[in-house]
Amino acid sequence: MKKWFPRKRLILAFHKWLGILSAVFLVILSLTGLALNHTERLGLNNVTIDNAFILKRYGMQSGSDIQTYRIHETATLSHLENQLFYNGEPLANAGPPVGILEGSPFTVIATPDQLVYLTESGELIEQIRPEELPYDQLLHLGRDATGNPVLVAASGQWQPDPDWLEFLEFKGPFSVNPLSESNLDPDVRAAILANYQGRGPTLYRVILDLHAGRLFGWGGRTLMDLSAIAILLLVSSGISGWLRRSSWSYRTK
């Protein structure tokens, strides 16, 4: 004979697990609520979050995609999201460097579709736009047998004049030394991110969004709503059970 699980025990088991799950969210709400009530004392607005996971939740960069190269001996050239930075300061809107040619009186930064000219101190002189170049996409910045620069594109090779204003088609041997990335100083990384997207979210903002469930988007808000409904069900069922027991106890007297 099939044995059925008693209805009362099923309800009690459901009530217990609902209470445990609700307690987790209730603890989160309590802790975040306490923190928010003491924002000034805890200095929550003075703490900036740079955690990669948290930044991703806000659609911000963590700096892991920054490409950095050494330039002018002690300076750095960095690239993030179609923007170049010189020592952490914005330089120009351009693609990732495929070659750097340091010279006097200016330095050339070659990107797939632009040439960027800057002074030896890192100041922008000029940007040569795609429509001013004889190729569609640059692959490398190389040198010929005599050391003169060669622009290597998918459609051919070109050599610039001494002023880098005119470009002549080049036929001949050349060599390419790929750029090697350099380590990025934490202070420079912070400067790049601050210039690119502003400061990261404050600890106050993160705690507030966690309290409201917004930190995890639609799913987080839904979980917080369901936990609130679960707590209301627990409270109402507890009061209802207490009233029934009180009524039964009164009638049996």
Residue 250 confidence (pLDDT) above 60: no
Element spanning 76, H or E: strand 75-79
Tell me the per-residue pLDDT of 199-232, one tens digit each, with 9 for 90 and over. 778 899 889 988 888 888 777 778 777 777 877 8
Kindly report the pTM of this predicted structure.
Answer: 0.67
User: Domain for residue 207, yes or no?
Assistant: yes
Do 101 and 187 fall within a single domain?
A: yes
Do 156 and 119 fall within a single domain?
A: yes
Residue 24 confidence (pLDDT) above 90: no
Do 190 and 94 fall within a single domain?
A: yes
User: Domain for residue 74, yes or no?
Assistant: no
At residue 98's C-alpha, the angle toward residues 96 and 100, to 5°, is 105
Tell me the per-residue pLDDT of 57-93, one tens digit each, with 9 for 90 and over. 887 777 778 999 999 989 999 999 899 999 999 999 9
Choosing from 169, 197, 225, the residue where a domain stops is 197
Determine the average pLDDT of the residues in 142-171: 93
Domain extent at residue 43: 31-60+201-233
Do 184 and 207 fall within a single domain?
A: no
How would you classify residue 92: left for phi > 0, otherwise alpha for psi between -120 and 50, otherwise beta?
A: beta
Q: Cβ–Cβ contacts within 10 Å for residue 68, how many?
A: 20
Do 186 and 208 fall within a single domain?
A: no
